[in-house]
Structure 1
Amino acid sequence: MKRVNGIMSLIDIEALRATPLKTDPYEYLVVPAFVTGKALDSVIADFPNIESTGSIPPSELDIYGSFEQLLEEMNGPEFRKVIEEKFGVDLTGRPSMFTIRGHCARNNGKIHTDTESKIITVLLYLNQEWEAGGGRLRILRSGTDLNDAAEEVSPNGGTLLVFKRSDKSWHGHEPFEGQRRAIQMNWVRDEDVVAHEQRRHRFTSTLKRLNPFGSRASRETTGAH
């Protein structure tokens, strides 16, 4: 880890830079220890208190300490530059947005590709060790078979998964219900996408705070990462 503005960095940019890009069945990469050791411990300790399912914008949470620093580093120019180099994309002028997940509903994990407005999806898992059979994201070769996977990514603490969104960027996971912490970051087409998505997530997160694991959560079928 190196220092950024006199502060020890929480992310391992060199590990990301050294990780080869995979192209089967689409462009993605996995960095198992992007955040590790004491850095991981401090980020998990500062993970915001989330008691509902669904994706929540940072603006709706109490963000502080190492967790806040982590978001700032992921949103920084060096991280963006490496992602541009890896995936051969120019993200200049493309806005980024974050959502945070703390819990998974039983119906999450349906196979999907992400919306066309997204360019790059970044997932960082913050769960310490993962022992459950479900909740492990699968890189899929089709939109119909959860078992036709090129790779299964366990959401262990500090594991980074990045992929380029396309019409074949299928992914999903076996059912899991319970605590499953993750940061999702996306570079998207334009600011209108950010505004729309943040409004949508704020609305649903408000409903789920009122009824964290009630009927609405049980009906949720959107794909969780």
Structure 2
Amino acid sequence: MIQPVIPDYAALEAATVSPEPFAHAVVPDFIRADDLRALAASLPVIRSGGSFPPQALGLTPLMAQLVDELQQPRLRGIIATKFGLDLDDAPTMLTLRGRTRAKDGRIHRDSACKRVTVLLYLNAADNAAWSRHEGCLRLLRNGHDLEDFAAEIAPVNGTLVIFPNGPDTWHGHRQYVGPRHTIQLNYMANDASARNELRRHRLSALTKRLPWVA
């Protein structure tokens, strides 16, 4: 029987919501060091860029347990309370990324049908790229200048980043090519556009499981 990964919910509850450049919370070591070491051997092998639904990957039992844990009511409730949101009926959409391409990280806002974005970084801190600020998430003050940021978060050590989406939630990172493991969880709007995206997500899961898809 696997030893389940239980994130540090107390640290999330204690985390401060920073208002600049938009409301967000950062929780270092949300995945504790011992659990992160166990997960290092369980990360899915993802050889191409893009986001993958869990159903499209052969997850180990430990990774599957973590993916399930993140979609439970406990995390939803803490986030809703911390940001003053009603997420009771919000559908969830979860994807995993394992490799960043040269074109990734460009300045963008997430889709309007994603009410809240949650990012969990599962990378070790010993990659020299992070010290060069490559691949480090930047929360930006505008939609055109990657160097005008209010916060920069290295994608390491089980760090959790949360922000409700809005018209000014610009973010991106300096170009980085290579392994970069991220779990992205979104609480979705309960409207037609969100339902369409969830349907595309499910179709993507089926398509990426086909043998001729890399």
TM-score higher than 0.5 here? yes
Partner of 1:96: 92
**Structure 1 unpaired stretches of 5+:** 1-6, 211-225
Partner of 1:140: 140
CA–CA distance in structure 1, aligned partners of residues 186 and 53 of structure 2:
12
Q: Does 1:75 align with 2:71?
A: yes
Supply the AA of the counterpart residue of 1:119: R
CA–CA distance in structure 2, aligned partners of residues 123 and 59 of structure 1:
19
8 Å contact from structure 1 (residues 25, 140) kept in 2: yes
Partner of 2:24: 28
Q: Does 1:196 align with 2:200?
A: yes
CA–CA distance in structure 1, aligned partners of residues 149 and 212 of structure 2:
32
Task: Name which of 77, 82, 85 aligns with 1:86.
Answer: 82
TM-align CA RMSD: 2.1
Paired residue secondary structure (1:43): helix
Paired residue secondary structure (2:50): coil
1:114-133 equivalences under 5 Å are 114-129=110-125, 130-132=127-129, 133=132
CA deviation after TM superposition for structure 1 residue 157, in Å: 2.5
Supply the AA of the counterpart residue of 1:15: A
State which drifts further: 101-110 or 185-194.
185-194
**Structure 2 unpaired stretches of 5+:** none
CA deviation after TM superposition for structure 1 residue 193, in Å: 2.8
Moved over 4 A (4+): 200-209
Superposition TM-score, scaled by structure 1 size: 0.85
Superposition TM-score, scaled by structure 2 size: 0.89
Q: Structure 2 vs 1, CA of residues 115 and 205 (structure 1 numbering), >3 Å: closer, same or farther?
A: farther
CA–CA distance in structure 1, aligned partners of residues 116 and 99 of structure 2:
23
CA deviation after TM superposition for structure 1 residue 202, in Å: 5.7
How many pairs align?
205
Q: Does 1:52 align with 2:48?
A: yes
Paired residue secondary structure (1:199): helix
Q: Structure 2 vs 1, CA of residues 77 and 140 (structure 1 numbering), >3 Å: closer, same or farther?
A: same
8 Å contact from structure 1 (residues 43, 70) kept in 2: no
Q: Structure 2 vs 1, CA of residues 209 and 128 (structure 1 numbering), >3 Å: closer, same or farther?
A: farther
Partner of 1:180: 180
CA deviation after TM superposition for structure 1 residue 8, in Å: 5.1
CA–CA distance in structure 2, aligned partners of residues 87 and 208 of structure 1:
43
